[in-house]
Structure formats: C-alpha cells, structure tokens
Amino acid sequence: MRILIVGGGAREHALAWRLSHDPGVEVIGAPGNAGTAAIGRNVELDPTDANRVVALAKQESADLAVVGPEAPLVAGVVDALRANGIDAFGPDRNAAQLEGSKIFSKEFMARHDIPTAGFRVFDDPDAATRYIEEASRPLVVKADGLAAGKGVIVASTAAEAVAGVDRIMRERAFGDAGDRVLIEECLVGQEVSYHVVADGKRFIPLAPAQDHKRAYDGDEGPNTGGMGAYSPPPVVTPEVEQKILDRVIDPTLQGMAVEGRPFRGALFVGLMIVEGEPWVLEYNVRFGDPECQTLVTRWAGSILPIVVGSARGDLGDLRPRWEAPASLCVVLASGGYPGSYEKGKPITGLEEADALSNVTVFHAGTRLERDTVVTSGGRVLSVTAIGADIDQAAARAYEAADMIDFEGKHLRRDIGWRARTR
C-alpha cells in the first residue's frame, strides 16, 4: 500500500513511522523531513497547494493520503483528494472550520451547549481595548484564524491583554488570521488534550495527553507550538474521561453532523479540567504535535485499519490497543524559538539517541544537506520514550535528548512534571 503523508513536522514523521510498520506499506513525505526520508521518500511541495497534492497522489498511484497539519485541511486539500477518487484521512474544508476559525468554534459550542468559557468577538482593536480596560481581570486573547499555535495570549493583566490585541490586530503578527479577535474569560485548572478518530457517524476515543505550550521551565515564557507532552495525565480519571465523552465529544460530533459538516479524521480537543469538570478551550482538526508522538509510541499493533476506516467513512468496531503504559516526548528547539532563529545547524548524536531501548527520535525542522542532518525550523526534534510509568519514560527521553546536540539547542527540563515523582 502506498501512502502519501502530507506535511513535514514531527507529527507527520510519527504517523509515517507507525504506518510503515505494516508489511507492504510504502510512505512518501510531501514535503517530509530528514526523518521521513529515512523510512521512505520525500517530494518537495507546498502542502496547502491542493492541485499539486492531487497531482502527486495520482503520479505516485497513492492508495491513501494522510493530511497531517491544519493549514492544508482548512485549505480544502482533503476535498480535492476525495473529488479525485483518492481516499484521504482528515476532515473536509467545512468540518475543518472547527479549527480554521476560533470564532466559528466558540459560536458552535454555544449552539450545542458544550461547556466553554464566556467570550466576546471583536473586529475593531479600539473596541477590544476598551472592553479589556473596563473588564480589568485576567483574559485570554485569541486570533480568529490559524497562527501555528502562537496566536493565543493568556493575559494576567489588562496591559498584557491590550498588548495581545495590538500584536494580533494592529501589528498583524499573524496576517489575516488577526482580522478578528476572540476575548475569553480565563479558566484556571489543568490543560489536557483529548483525541478521537471519527468517520462522520461514530468515533473511537484515544488516550489523553498533556502538552506543555510555554517555552521555558515552570510554564514560563511565550506560547509555542508545544515543547513536549506525555500520556496519560493523572488528572484524566475514568470519571473525568466519561464526562469528556458525554459532554464534549458526543455533542460536538453530533452537532457537526446536524449542521451538515460530518467530521472524518482526528479531532483533538484542548480542554481545561477545572475541579473535575471539562471545559473546552479549542478544537483542533488533526492530531496534536507533540501529543501524536506520545500516542503512536504507546499504540499496540497496526493503526492502518483505523486510519483507512476513518478515511472511507466506516470504522466498524475497531478500537485501539495501548501497549506501553506511559510515553513522554521532549522537543528540542532552535535557540530563539518561538521568535527568530537560525537554520542550517548540523545535528550530532541522532543515531546514538535513536539506538537507546524504547526511544524514538521524530524529526520536525530538519533537512539533509549531503549526508548531514541540519536544522531547518523552530521545533527541530521530538525525542520520545515509552516506559512502565511517566518517571521511567522521562528518564529515557532526557537521556536520549542529552546525546543530541546542535548549536543553540533549547529544551524544557520539566516535561511531565505534574506526573513525575522525581
């Protein structure tokens, strides 16, 4: 089976790595990275160019396309693939609006009584600033459109919130994504990531995970695309998980179907658990990154039937099996990320780290220059380990992370701190 993996991050390498375990599977990265090149082939292209993706899928006689990132999903790449008779894993453009517009998603939650923080919508920065100054309390400011995980400002003061509005709407840090802003009440609790795979009619729950979005230890610094994750987080007890399924997942997927937007693909809901109650922070219409890396390394057996079942709209009675009790992922980032950073730094120690038992190094911002792997992005590698518990997974992941080096390497040392005892 020939599978086209659309995207070039660690999530896409993780999916390619897991799918390539199946006999007879060949993976093609589009555009991929140095990691996907090691297990298959890469073809350089813009993953949001639907016509080019379709042309490549036809040229390669791909049996299936797995679209990893949010931007091509929102751009309608899945629609184009399906219109040309190519099975595709991921939601179509209409369903992808759950992530493509934070304002659409909040109004959708309000229509379907899904628990979320109170909010206001603004298309005028002056009006948004007046609201913040009058409110004078902690608020969250979000760009409406896609901003690579960086368009959210959790403000503890009015000044921070106003600065967020300025950055999004006046400075246009995220371009057209900042035409409108969402200002939410600030929820206080533990943030978790919950994933399901859906086929438009039913869904399969996966394991919960917890991301670490802030750049520095102690959850300090600016938001990033994610500096690490682990699974499972203790805060998601069986009781809490049932509330998530009953109050969030089921009404979300039923609501999408009722509104003529049936959801197929991976739905990842960002939640805040407040005193045992789940509140939705945001929807994501794809696997999280780095959460995906923790999920695929825990998974037992093949993920291919679930991916194909979702793409074809029939999951049947499939269920995932979890082999490893725990997994933890540490992101190695370029110096300066999530701000400006230099590229082209040679990376050493990859083979030694990957050779450690129960460790897998997933590539993100990497590329090959002749025979040398060099940095090419902000988040460079996702060093992921499994273990009998979070402590063991963390010890293995950090041992491997310390074997890898490149100029400016930056990582957090406290991934999984809520679940670690040492």
Other CB atoms closer than 10 Å to residue 161's CB: what's the count? 28
CATH code (residue 391): 3.30.470.20
Please give the Cα distance from 349 to 404 (Å, whole number).
4
Do strands 26-31 and 2-7 pair parallel, antiparallel, or not at all (unpaired)?
parallel
Q: Are 328 and 388 in contact (CB under 8 A)?
A: no
Q: Are 270 and 280 in contact (CB under 8 A)?
A: yes
Q: Would you state the pLDDT for residue 67?
A: 98
DSSP letter string over 41-55? EE----TT-HHHHHH
Range of the domain at 221: 190-403
Domain C-terminal end among 48, 70, 92: 92
| Mean pLDDT for the chain overall | 95
Domain C-terminal end among 41, 71, 92: 92
Within a domain: 25: yes
Within a domain: 71: yes
CATH code (residue 136): 3.30.1490.20
Q: Would you state the pLDDT for residue 422?
A: 65
Tell whether 227 and 356 lie within a shared domain: yes
Tell whether 158 and 266 lie within a shared domain: no
Rounded to the nearest 10 degrees, the angle between the axes of helix 250-258 and helix 93-100 is: 130
Tell whether 233 and 343 lie within a shared domain: yes
Tell whether 144 and 271 lie within a shared domain: no
DSSP-assigned letter for residue 346 = B
DSSP-assigned letter for residue 397 = H
Within a domain: 408: no
> For each of the chain's 422 residues, which pLDDT tens digit applies?
999 999 999 999 999 999 999 999 999 999 999 999 999 999 999 999 999 999 999 999 999 999 999 999 999 999 999 999 999 999 999 999 999 999 999 999 999 999 999 999 999 999 999 999 999 889 999 999 888 777 888 888 999 999 999 999 999 989 988 999 999 999 999 999 999 999 999 999 999 999 999 999 999 998 899 999 999 999 999 999 999 999 999 999 999 999 999 999 999 999 999 999 999 999 999 999 999 999 999 999 899 999 999 999 999 988 888 999 999 999 999 999 999 999 999 999 999 999 999 999 999 999 999 889 999 999 999 999 999 999 999 999 999 999 999 999 999 999 999 999 86
Tell whether 68 and 197 lie within a shared domain: no
Please give the Cα distance from 303 to 364 (Å, whole number).
21
Within a domain: 130: yes
Please give the Cα distance from 144 to 147 (Å, whole number).
9
pLDDT digits (tens, 9 = 90+) for 217-230: 999 998 899 999 99
Tell whether 168 and 285 lie within a shared domain: no
Q: Would you state the pLDDT for residue 150?
A: 75
pLDDT digits (tens, 9 = 90+) for 95-146: 999 999 999 999 999 999 999 999 999 999 999 999 999 998 899 999 998 8
CATH code (residue 24): 3.40.50.20
Within a domain: 229: yes
Tell whether 360 and 223 lie within a shared domain: yes
Within a domain: 360: yes
Within a domain: 347: yes
Domain C-terminal end among 133, 152, 179: 179
Tell whether 153 and 295 lie within a shared domain: no
Please give the Cα distance from 364 to 332 (Å, whole number).
10
Tell whether 64 and 149 lie within a shared domain: no
Tell whether 56 and 129 lie within a shared domain: no
Q: Provide CB contacts within 8 A for 85, sequence distance 6+.
A: none
Q: Provide CB contacts within 8 A for 349, sequence distance 6+.
A: 403, 404, 405
Tell whether 79 and 167 lie within a shared domain: no
Look at the chain and report how many structural domains it folds into. 3
Please give the Cα distance from 300 to 101 (Å, whole number).
35
Of 198, 162, 212, 240, give the one whose Cα is nearest residue 330.
212
Q: Are 365 and 380 in contact (CB under 8 A)?
A: yes
Within a domain: 105: no
Tell whether 173 and 196 lie within a shared domain: no
Please give the Cα distance from 158 to 164 (Å, whole number).
10
Q: Provide CB contacts within 8 A for 353, sequence distance 6+.
A: 359, 361, 383, 400, 401, 403, 404
